Amino acid sequence: MEKISVQDVTFTYGSEGADVSAPAEPAVENLSLEIEKGSYTAILGANGSGKSTLAKLIDVIEVPDSGRIVVFGKDTSDDSVFWQIRENSACVFQNPDNQIVGTIVEEDVAFGPENLGIKLPELRERVDQALKDVGIYELRLREAASLSGGQKQKLAIAGALAMRPEILILDEATAMLDPRSRDEFLAVCEEMRLKKGLTLITITHDMSEAMRCGRVIVMSKGKKAAEGTPAKIFADISLEQYGLRRPVIIRFAYEIARLAGVTLTEEDLTGEARLREKITKILTSPDLANADIPEESNDKEAKTRRKIMSVKDLFSSYDGGKSFAIKNINLDVYEGEILGIVGESGCGKTTLISHMNSILKPSSGDIEVYPEEGVTLRCSQKKDVQKIRQSVGLVFQYPEYQLFEETVYKDICYGLRKMKLTAEEQKDRAVKAAKSVGLEKDVLRKNPFELSGGQKRRAAMAGVLAMRPKILVLDEPASGLDPVGREEMFALIKSLREQGTTVVIVSHNMDEAAAYCDRIICIRNGEAVTAETPDLLFSDKEKTAKFGIDQPKITKFTSLLKQEILKRLPEVHFERMRFDPEEEARAVYRAVLKAGRKDVK
Amino acid sequence: MLSDISLGKYYKADSILHRTDPRIKTLLYVVYLVVIFMINSPAALGALAGVIVIQVVMAKVRPSVIWKTVKPVLPLSVFILILNILTIKQGDLLFQWKFISITDYGIARAILMAVRLMFLILSTSLMLTLTTTPLKIADALESLFSPLKLIKVPVHEMAMMMSIALRFIPTLIEETDKIMKAQVSRGADYDTGSFINRVKGYLTVLIPLFISSFRRAEELAVAMDARCYKGGEGRTKLNPLKITGTDILVGLFLTACAAGLVVMDLTLR
């Protein structure tokens, strides 16, 4: 049987490696694993667990310090077959912009086969075929820079496929895509695997992506921590210690099982349908265990709150009014809430929040900010602009890319210096801001580029928070973080809200938006669809279908589950939807119990 | 903010000039470069403007795009104009006030320099950047300079570096825009204040831009490695350069125009 065989491999990045400041710990240590030809494998692990290094080792971009990697019978340390192995495997990386070499789409696809010395007309045939396979043939003469993120990633697969590899490695290739592009991207890769017998290896943080695979390998600190079928891996409770979380559906199922005192088997976890069947069976069984579940406080209940920002009939155009990036947006933001702005890439989310901070000028309409009772600031008033920028803090996507000072402290103080505060005031605010994002005091003295990814992001956020904004606007605050990092980020956002900041989050992740936001506004093609509480929004099937709003995964799962239960127990009356899987599990359980008790009476 | 600058960007169209072999365009570019700096007489310069209009028509580039190409260079052009007017002392004195003296020759030279700069930008754009993709420019240079390979000049590598630099211009412009917006939201102000302060202000953009460019370069290198890039040897081309009859006609026509301009200038002098 042909396979990729990693045998006791250790690898340390040398001094010429990516991160010179990092201590020279091995990125991969005594790693042994096997991946069979034609299989579909997910490699999971927290940031820095060695996943990407493994990909580079398999693709012979790096060679192990010790141990051996044998790819389909060829040893990667053997110089005579080095190119053969590399030609046989292709990679798609995370950032679409940083892997496009050609200016024009077809020129980029040709880059790989040109390197292999493929001659015309085969070269032309390969390029066309690859473009057709991923469905972007009609874009072949477009400028690559003008494509959307999803299209750029498809271009990257086309570039990989044109080399006719047997192994396709996706190195967090879906991390920067919105859910729809992500599904399309994976569907293309999976189709190619079946059609061309590719060995597909996907390195990911997305647990539901891992559920699509045949096998999962969990990495932790450069070592293999676990491996098996997705069902086996997700049945293993100790996933948290590797910085991972179970998929939401499985978390839901485990909470139901815990309440009912039932154990789930590995087999129950193989596939959504089977899992739903099992849960339905548990919940509808006549001797369902009576669990005492306290009613949960309805903290998402809309209280009468003060309006803090109001977007009025906002239109925005980048081309002087020929077309509008956003059209007729009306939106009120209330003090102390977390408001989610969701929508696909390119729908106008980022444009809208740039207006909130008065970086862009509206074509028509206005935004009013009420930092205090009785004070009204208007974006249209030039004298108010500076005050608005102080009242509304804006943190763009990947804020760590904007750090520039030599110490974290100086960087945090940048905005404060611009506000012309005294040195003492600056220090006080900077230290408090650092504390509020969970940065230790000694970090302040460090160079921002020495910090880890998560810490850098926190430092950048502190720079905005130090200006003491009343409203904090965050563009995709969790992008690029691993599951635990994401949870920590949202915990941080919640704690900022507790401290009195109103938060606006832009996200394309429906699961997180639903779980953490009090209200959600959905933007589609520049138009705002609605601002409602998540349970109202997602329970309105007509509306979600009409506007193409993707439901959170947990909701997709439970709404089918609820239908199943209602078929058998029509008297059950379900509560409003929850979006935290454990909370939703308790709510469902409670609803079934209540109905059951009536039966008994 | 920066997205409406066209300088250095490729303009997609199907025109004679777009289809012309990039080597011919490169050579024509050099010819026009010489012409632009050779001719002096106003009539010849006017005729050159006419030839450039013909080139615009041949390239099927919209006038608005031409305007966007020229716009960013205007301040520099004005600067050169003023500098020349103020510094050239030859010729008849037209105006004098304290240390400022303006001469007729100075004005003529200044206009000539400013006009030359404009023509330079226009012919670079029309012959190369607007009508030729960076990879083709690189191909052309690689092919034109290939004799230098004999004396071990890394022609292919240099061409590749150039094409990648050009490919990343739009990406980096986008990135600069993003960083500027982020710093503006933290109170940065790039439009007011003293010159020194403004230059200092730009450090808040340049430093992150530099760092991200290094990161991009590193990721790109890995991606190129993964796609089996191993230098120029044994590489094939999807669209190999081929000179057709039309290409030769375009080349001859524009060379004739250039020769005509020079002759015109010499006879008028």
Give the pLDDT confidence of B2-16 residue by residue, as tens digits: 555 555 677 888 899
pLDDT higher than 70, residue A408: yes
Of A61, A115, A414, the CB nearest to B222: A61
The amino acid occupying position A374 is: G
pLDDT higher than 60, residue A22: no
| A215-221 mean pLDDT | 93
* pLDDT tens track for A183-214: 889 999 999 999 999 999 999 988 888 989 99
For chain B, the domains span 16-268
| A126-134 mean pLDDT | 94
Chain A's closest residue to B222, CA to CA, is A61
Residues in chain B within 8 Å Cβ distance of A396 = 178, 181-182, 185
CB–CB of B181 and A145 under 8 A?
Answer: no
Is residue B212 classed exposed, middle or buried when 0-12, 13-18 and 19+ CB atoms within 10 A define those classes?
buried
As a whole number of angstroms, the distance between CA A590 and CA A582 comes to 12
CB–CB of A449 and B229 under 8 A?
Answer: no
pLDDT higher than 50, residue A15: no
Task: State how beta strands A502-507 and A471-475 pair.
Answer: parallel
Closest CA to A499 of A461, A464, A472, A477: A472
Residues in chain A within 8 Å Cβ distance of B164 = 101
Residues in chain B within 8 Å Cβ distance of A414 = 186-188, 204
Single pTM value for the model: 0.84
- Residue A159: its H or E element: helix A149-161
* pLDDT tens track for A525-551: 888 887 888 988 888 878 777 777 788
Give, in degrees to the nearest 5, the angle at Cα A426 between A385 and A420.
Answer: 45
Q: Which of A11-20, A35-44, A82-91, A100-109 has the lowest mean pLDDT?
A: A11-20
Residues in chain A within 8 Å Cβ distance of B167 = 100-103, 144-145
As a whole number of angstroms, the distance between CA A188 and CA A154 comes to 8
Residues in chain B within 8 Å Cβ distance of A86 = 225-226, 228
Q: Report the pLDDT value the prediction gives residue B7, as an integer from 0 to 100.
A: 57
CB–CB of A59 and B228 under 8 A?
Answer: no
Higher pLDDT, B232 or B155: B155
pLDDT higher than 60, residue A301: no
CB–CB of B212 and A97 under 8 A?
Answer: no
CA distance A551 to chain B (A): 30
Higher pLDDT, A396 or B100: A396
| A562-590 mean pLDDT | 90
Q: Report the pLDDT value the prediction gives residue A29, as an integer from 0 to 100.
A: 92
Task: State how beta strands A377-378 and A364-369 pair.
Answer: antiparallel
Q: Report the pLDDT value the prediction gives residue A601, as an integer from 0 to 100.
A: 37
Higher pLDDT, A238 or A598: A238
Closest CA to A300 of A591, A515, A529: A515
Q: Report the pLDDT value the prediction gives residue A17, as an integer from 0 to 100.
A: 47
As a whole number of angstroms, the distance between CA A51 and CA A218 comes to 9
Q: Is A549 helix (H, G, I), strand (E, B) or coil?
A: coil
- Residue A503: its H or E element: strand A502-507
Contact A107, A140 (CB under 8 A): no
Of A98, A118, A159, the CB nearest to B219: A98
Of A106, A117, A403, the CB nearest to B238: A106
As a whole number, the mean pLDDT across chain A is 89
- As for the ipTM of the complex, it is 0.87
- Please give the C-alpha separations between residue A131 and each of A92, A152, A242, A393, B245, in angstroms, as whole numbers: 15, 12, 38, 43, 31
Strand boundaries in A343-389, DSSP class E: 364-369, 377-378
CA distance A450 to chain B (A): 13
Of A98, A107, A359, the CB nearest to B133: A107
As a whole number of angstroms, the distance between CA A42 and CA A169 comes to 10
- Residue A197: its H or E element: none
Higher pLDDT, A318 or A276: A276
Q: Report the pLDDT value the prediction gives residue A299, as an integer from 0 to 100.
A: 55
Q: What is the set of domains in chain A, with CATH numbers?
A: 3-242 (3.40.50.300), 248-298+553-600 (no CATH), 307-532 (3.40.50.300)
CA distance A389 to chain B (A): 6
Higher pLDDT, A314 or B136: A314
* pLDDT tens track for B169-226: 888 988 999 999 999 888 888 877 777 878 888 889 999 999 999 999 999 999 999 9
Residues in chain A within 8 Å Cβ distance of B222 = 56, 61, 93
CB–CB of A97 and B229 under 8 A?
Answer: no
CB–CB of A99 and B171 under 8 A?
Answer: no
| A384-404 mean pLDDT | 90
* pLDDT tens track for A340-374: 999 888 888 889 999 998 888 899 999 999 998 88
Q: Report the pLDDT value the prediction gives residue A517, as an integer from 0 to 100.
A: 93
Dihedrals phi, psi of A407, to nearest 5 degrees? -130, 155
As a whole number of angstroms, the distance between CA A73 and CA A85 comes to 10
Q: Report the pLDDT value the prediction gives residue B1, as an integer from 0 to 100.
A: 43
| A414-420 mean pLDDT | 90
* pLDDT tens track for B26-72: 999 999 999 999 998 889 999 999 999 999 999 999 988 888 888 88
pLDDT band at A171 (very low <50, low <70, confident <90, very high): very high
pLDDT higher than 80, residue B260: yes
- Please give the C-alpha separations between residue A532 and each of A72, A336, A349, A372, in angstroms, as whole numbers: 54, 16, 17, 25
CB–CB of B170 and A113 under 8 A?
Answer: no
Residues in chain B within 8 Å Cβ distance of A118 = 236
